[in-house]
Amino acid sequence: DALGRAKWGRFGKEEPGLWLTLHSSPYERFLKPLEEGGRTDANTDASAPRIGLAIARRLAQDGAHVVVSSRKQQNVDRAVAALQGEGLSVTGTVCHVGKAEDRERLVATALEHCGGVDFLVCVAGVNPLVGSTLGASEQLWNKILDVNVKSPALLLSRLLPHMEKRGGSAVVLVSSMVAYMPIPKLGAYNTSKTALLGLSKSLAVELAPKGIRVNCLVPGMINTDFSKVKKAIPNLLSNFNELHGLQRFGQPEECAGIVSFLCSPDASYITGENIAVAGFSPKL
């Protein structure tokens, strides 16, 4: 069909490959400590709606061989089982993207499974702090910047020779609407997501001569756990409706489609863009 759901429909190469890390919504990571007073952790329950899982599913449906990763083996196992159960070409491995040895294993797994890597989607993110920006310790700053900003660049540096050989490769970073509209008490996280916008722009210029495109997805309020959103901030949707005309929360699949497009030859003349999927535009 028009979306290329048949094998190799959207992706024209013989062995499309991908690395993808699953994560939960940035807003869920914000809400969890408000409700529980606890540390935030990514959750990739295959039965729950997640941006990373939706992207993996859509890319595989569009003909890609997909490699997913997460910090926890149980998350990888659930995601792979769910997607393979749909007849999709997916494998996975445990990877803490902040650890060099895990990144090396992830690259090796992708090359073994796919024979090459045509595109990279970086979704992983952490936010262990809800509180004062200037009250954040150096350790917290390091953790947030290591995972959210440095790890995509370091991982891409390991994949670069393989992607360059393939030709026409693509990278999609995943930021957040907080890059444009900071949430109070998420200062370090807001900053890290703003940095991803700059990283996307810089890499797009640097890698253009190598035939590699780099773009950045900027999700707004995506319905990954609507009950928590309603409970913690009951007037959130009405407030955004009043200010920005926002009619509803987005769905993970609405992020997945644009990522598949950006990774495909259909987007061969698009690079260096920060693309908001938010139901409104935060930019001029």
d(CA 146, CA 250): 28
Q: Which of 196, 208, 197 is nearest to 170 (CA)?
A: 208
DSSP 62: T
Q: Compute the CA torsion angle 193, 194, 200, 205 (nearest 10 deg).
A: -160
Q: Which of 157, 118, 163 is nearest to 263 (CA)?
A: 118
d(CA 79, CA 82): 5
d(CA 150, CA 236): 31
Residue 133 CB burial class (10 angstroms; 0-12, 13-18, ≥19): middle
d(CA 159, CA 72): 22
> Which residues are identified as catalytic?
189
d(CA 4, CA 17): 16
Strand pairing category for 274-277 and 212-219: parallel
3-state helix, strand, coil in the chain (%, to 5): 50, 15, 40
d(CA 228, CA 239): 17
3-state secondary structure of 196: helix
Token pair belonging to 125: 């993110």
DSSP 3: T
